[in-house]
Structure 1
Amino acid sequence: MYKSFSHITILPFCVFPNVTSFILSVITAIDMESMVNTVTAWVENPVKFARSHGIALSHSDLDEDVQILILEGFLLYNHKLLANMCSERYYLSIPYEECKRRRSGRNYTVPDPPGLFDGHVWPMYLKHRQEMEASGVSIGMSSSVF
């Protein structure tokens, strides 16, 4: 749920020389209010939420007492309200080398300019992780993968 870039008209052969305007590795790039509203709607009525999003439910789904919503993203716990909505919290991390390898293998509409990972993405990940840890958010499990 990233904030809209609807004010930008993308035309054929359009070039974005200043890609840093579109960096999505900071919490201000995410529409956290919309995310909180979406999670709240699911928590209040998972069945209604599923139906309103075109998810077909079976009769056994309707009878389930336990509903599970999994949220993914490294900035989730930096937003206090959203963090507090989570009954269980897990934080999985991967080493720098693996993260850089995965990021470089992605195919973005507007590709990362050279140096973006080392100059911005990884430092912002470390900054936000440190802020999350300093905020006292209780994490059920935190581990490095790989």
Structure 2
Amino acid sequence: MPRVGDDWIIIGVSGVTCGGKTTLANKLKDSLVPIYVFHQDKYFYPDDSPHHIRCVDLDHNNYDILSSLDMDLMYKDIMDTIQGTDKSHTSNVERVPGKYEVKNKKFLIIEGFTVMNFKPILEICNLRYYFVLSYEDCAARRCYRLYDPPDIEGYFDRCVWPEHLKYRAEIEKDKRVTILDGMQPNALEIVLADIVSKGGEIIK
């Protein structure tokens, strides 16, 4: 595995669909400096890719498994950024009052529903967070989300939720991961407190 320099704080934000991952990543982008953000959703294979696996008894690709994503490319882009070639999807490097910084360090956020189930990414993270929701809360939120291609009838119960439970079970065995309740509004405060514990200070 390529070496990650100690001038980076890498934060993994993963977990259940509609749990608050992207919202937290965007809030961190606005709170930390300098920061680079990667979104796993940018790495889905095209709909007609042979990498996709069809859902059992459904006319639909299973987009809720790691094989539906080009994780090797995502990891390469992350490592290229760490090594000096910016491949991030969004960044914020402007040093202004009110933001948090850690002296001589840069932040990198890796966000997505299974980013930490991909071991190379899990291992480079310094801080790891995983959102959870109950079945009822997740299903209620998912109803208001539009996907391309859209969910078909039965997809949530046959693919989305069972796959989440499988990946969640893997993550919950790792004591390095902080579990976040997606129904609570304090995720940003939890992460910022951890940043402060690593030397983070507000720019005056």
Q: Greater share of strand residues, 1 or 2?
A: 2
Superposition TM-score tier, normalisation by shorter sequence: 0.7 to 0.9
Bigger drift between 82-91 and 125-134 goes to 125-134
Residue type at the aligned position of 1:74:
F
What residue is the counterpart of 1:138 in the other structure?
176
Could you tell me which amino acid in structure 2 is paired with residue 91 of structure 1? Y
Which amino acid is 2:74 matched to? M
Unpaired runs of at least 5, structure 2: 1-42, 51-57, 97-102, 184-204
Q: Deviations over 1:19-75 (max 9, x none)?
A: 422x21001111110110011112122xx416x8796865x49xx732111111221
Instruction: Among all aligned residue pairs of Structure 1 and Structure 2, give the percentage whose two residues are the same amino acid.
Output: 28
Relative to structure 1, the CA distance from residue 116 to residue 6 in structure 2 (aligned partners, 3 Å threshold; closer, same or farther) is closer
Q: 1:143 to 1:108 in 2, by over 3 A?
A: closer
Structure 1, gaps ≥5 residues long: 9-17
2:130 alignment partner in structure 1: 91
Normalised by the size of structure 1, how large is the TM-score?
0.72
Matched, 1:4 2:46: yes
Letter in 1 for 2:125: C
1:69-102 Cα deviation digits (max 9, x unpaired): 1111221121111101111111121222221122
**Cα offset for 1:138?**
2.1
Equivalent pairs counted in the alignment come to 128
**Larger Rg over CA atoms:** 1
* Larger RCO, structures 1/2 (Cα 8 Å, 6+ apart): 2
Judging by fraction of residues, say which structure has more helix: 1
